[in-house]
Structure 1
């Protein structure tokens, strides 16, 4: 995957664009484009072609404008990428949830997973320096609220949110790769598995690899595939939340 990095543009210009602080002209001809139209086109290209397919020239072509026209709105691709990220984070529903912290964190994980699946190019952007826009801040606020008041320190709250988001990122990457291999090979996981099964008894070495043979066969029979991304996500999320639960219980015990 091509890798891009958020927060690599001019900080002042990125923040100005993220928070729409540049005043619109009140006189003269109406601008041919808007920040919103440019971002919408850029996100559409990234969704269809990946982040590598998204360039200033490509976006300009999509909008029927000259490449230099976009530079009247964005200094470059880095600042555009920051606004793209903040914009798609605005799609997260951030509903008021009933239930305890575990139910809220579970919802956070699922909402993020769905966002990644809608916009797989997000996996190609490193966000250790996130764009500090309104939707990024709202996302962080909402996710922290899931663990507010359950006995964790502020640092542990941040660590817990980062842990959930990191887990989702890794799990979705595997799911997206599984989708891509189906598209590129023209063969479903079940078709791939069934094509291999008749040959396994002939070449399999159950004597030297008894555990791999037994467990691998059980998985293949269960999912008609060597791996099931939905099952793996559910299993991993449950175990992750079990771990957080252990920490919460530890914090709730009276000190001696």
Structure 2
């Protein structure tokens, strides 16, 4: 069993790797691969075969090196999973860089997350309550929160709304992926599965006992593409958020200013982060240049 100190040391090393603060290995011959290549190799394995297929030994075999040489780059699998997660989070466009009002931006962000989970299903097998704490994940989180600040909601409500939308997208994506996995592993499509059980509806099912279900079946409403169900649910979640925002007591547009970062030069609100996710300290290039000239003047005097 690892001591708490060992776990803390490993966590610190993992965070340094995520943020590019760790030192590269200096001992021995320089290997023909990088940390990024290790992570990308692991992501490819997880995409193709699931998380169970990812191990330091298999990655080493794929890269043509020894398992121990990988530990010079990554302390263990837990840190590797964090690196994998944050790497693929970089594929998601920042929500506040999209056009439109806050609802339109949340809608686009939810669809982007849905796409991410379907490209990398293994993400949903990791605990959502213990995020990787990497730069791409933080940029995504901040961008969605920035979109939500336009609602004027107080901090606790804003965080709860974020959790609500995130939980819906994750849950819907997990159901969709589970159904696809059953179909893939069994070799039986949903249509084939239902056809094989037609006897139930023809000889066992009694419509008079289940009149609503029978009417829905007759209307063809019981079976539809999974993505259509996701879109329907997404709109209803957004409807509920919009109603919640509209019904907030004493709400006015000025409440969103509590989340704005003031420009250190003029005091006006600084805009959201750049598309790269990096924060913008000054509200304009003019203020940035003025601050630079002021610093230069102080150094010369």
Question: TM-score range with shorter-chain normalisation?
Answer: 0.7 to 0.9
Structure 1 207/66 Cα, relative in aligned 2: closer, same or farther at 3 Å?
same
Going from structure 1 to structure 2, the CA distance change for 1:176 and 1:158 (only over 3 Å counts) comes to: same
Provide the C-alpha distance between the structure 2 equivalents of 1:110 and 1:59, rounded to a whole number of angstroms.
Answer: 32
How far apart are 1:163 and its partner, in Å?
A: 1.2
**Helix, strand or coil at the partner of 1:251:** coil
1:173 — aligned with what? 174
Query: What is the CA deviation profile of residues 9-60 of structure 1, one whole-angstrom value per residue up to 9, with x for unaligned ones?
Result: 8220111110111234689743332110100010011111111111111111
Q: What pairs up with 1:62-73 in 2 under 5 angstroms?
A: 62-73=62-73
1:92 match: 92
TM-score, scaled to structure 2: 0.75
**Structure 1 residue aligned with 2:39:** 39
Q: What is the deviation of 1:183?
A: 1.2
Partner of 2:283: none
Matched, 1:247 2:257: no
Note closer, same or farther for the CA distance 1:53–1:120 as it changes in structure 2 (3 Å cut). Answer: same
Stretches of structure 2 lacking an aligned partner (at least 5 in a row)? 1-6, 253-301
Check 1:174–1:8 CA distance in 2 against 1; reply closer, same or farther (3 A cut): farther
Rounded to whole Å, the distance in 1 between the matches of 2:134 and 2:251 is: 40
Tell me the alpha carbon deviations over residues 114-167 of structure 1, each in whole angstroms, 9 at most, x when there is no partner. Answer: 000000011110131211110011010111122123210122222212211111
CA distance in structure 2 between the partners assigned to 1:25 and 1:195 by the alignment:
59
- Check 1:101–1:196 CA distance in 2 against 1; reply closer, same or farther (3 A cut): same
Is 1:157 matched up with 2:154?
no
Matches within 5 A, 1:95-110: 96-110=97-111
Moved over 4 A (4+): 25-28, 252-255
Q: 1:194 offset after TM fit, Å? A: 3.4
Larger Rg: 2
The CA RMSD measured in Å over matched residues stands at: 2.3
Pairing of 1:120-131 with structure 2 (within 5 A): 120-131=121-132
Unaligned runs of 5+ in 1: 1-6
Q: Normalising by structure 1, what TM-score?
A: 0.87
Q: Which residue of structure 2 aligns with residue 116 of structure 1? A: 117
SS at match of 2:207: coil
Alignment partner, residue 183 of structure 2 = 182
Matches within 5 A, 1:228-243: 228-243=225-240
Alpha carbons 2:25, 2:73 under 8 Å: kept: no
CA distance in 1: counterparts of 2:93 and 2:191, whole angstroms = 34
Q: Which has the higher contact order (CA 8 A, sep 6+)?
A: 1
CA contact 2:25–2:72 (8 Å) conserved in 1: no
Change (3 A) 1:216 1:240: same
